[in-house]
Amino acid sequence: MRFRFLVLLLLLCAGCSQAPKSETAAPAPAAPAASAGQVHGDLRQIMRGILFINSNVVFAAQDKLDVKPAKDPSTATDPLASTYGGWTAVENSSIALAEAANLLTIPGRKCSNGRAVPVENEDWKKFVQGLRDAGMTAYKAAQSKSSEKIVDAAGAMTEACSNCHEKYREKPAGEKDRCM
C-alpha cells in the first residue's frame, strides 16, 4: 500500500515540476497544402490514352449495347466487354472524359512537338469547357440508358473535339504546327 502511495506521489510531483503552460500556445502545424497537378505525359499521350479510348466507348454506345462480356471480363481490354461493361462502361468513360478536361488545363504540359499547351488562351479554356460539358452530357445520357440521348451526346462530343482540333490539331504542316 505504501509503495502505491509513493508511486502516486511521484507521478503527481512530476507533473508539478513542469513549467506552466503558456497562455499563447503555438498553433498546430498547418496541414500540407494539396499538391498541384503534376504533368507526366504530353498532350498526344493524354489524347490517345484517355480521350480517344473513352470517346470511342461513347460513340460505340450509339449502336446497340449488346456487347457480350469477354471470356474473363476482369481482364478485358474493351471497356464494353469488361466487368463494368454496358451502360456502366459508358457512364465511366463519360466521367473520364469530363475529368480529363482537368488534365488539359495543368500548366507545364507540352504538345507532342515540344511547344507548351496553350492553357492560358481563352479559346483553349472554352474548348476544354466544351469537352467537360460534353462528357457530362454523355454521362447523363448513359445514366438514362437512352440510345436517343446518347446519340445527341455523341454529337456534342464530336462538336467539342472538332472545335479544338480545327484550331490546334488539324494543321497543314502536320504535327510540327500543332498546339499553336
Q: What is the pLDDT of residues 111-163, one digit of tens each?
A: 998 999 999 999 999 999 999 999 999 999 999 999 999 999 999 999 999 99
**Residue positions counted in the chain:** 180
What's the pLDDT band for 73 if we cut at 50, 70, 90? very high
Asked if residue 101 belongs to a domain, the reply is yes
Question: CATH number for the domain including 49?
Answer: 1.20.120
CB under 8 Å to 104, separation ≥6 — which residues? 43, 46, 117, 119, 124, 128, 131
Q: What is the pLDDT of residues 99-113, one digit of tens each?
A: 999 999 999 999 998
Domain count across the chain: 1
- According to the model, what pLDDT value does residue 139 have? 98
Please, what is the average pLDDT of the chain? 84
Asked if residue 20 belongs to a domain, the reply is no
Asked if residue 21 belongs to a domain, the reply is no
What's the pLDDT band for 31 if we cut at 50, 70, 90? low
Q: Is 50 exceeded by the pLDDT of residue 96?
A: yes
Its domain, for residue 126, covers 43-177
Asked if residue 30 belongs to a domain, the reply is no
CB under 8 Å to 74, separation ≥6 — which residues? 82, 83
Residue of 30 and 132 predicted with greater confidence:
132
Q: Could you tell me the pTM of the whole model?
A: 0.77
Q: What is the pLDDT of residues 7-24, one digit of tens each?
A: 444 444 444 444 444 445
Asked if residue 159 belongs to a domain, the reply is yes
Asked if residue 5 belongs to a domain, the reply is no
Asked if residue 82 belongs to a domain, the reply is yes
Asked if residue 8 belongs to a domain, the reply is no
- According to the model, what pLDDT value does residue 120 have? 96
Q: What number is the average pLDDT over the span 55-84? A: 92
CA 137, 140, 143, 148 torsion: positive or negative? negative
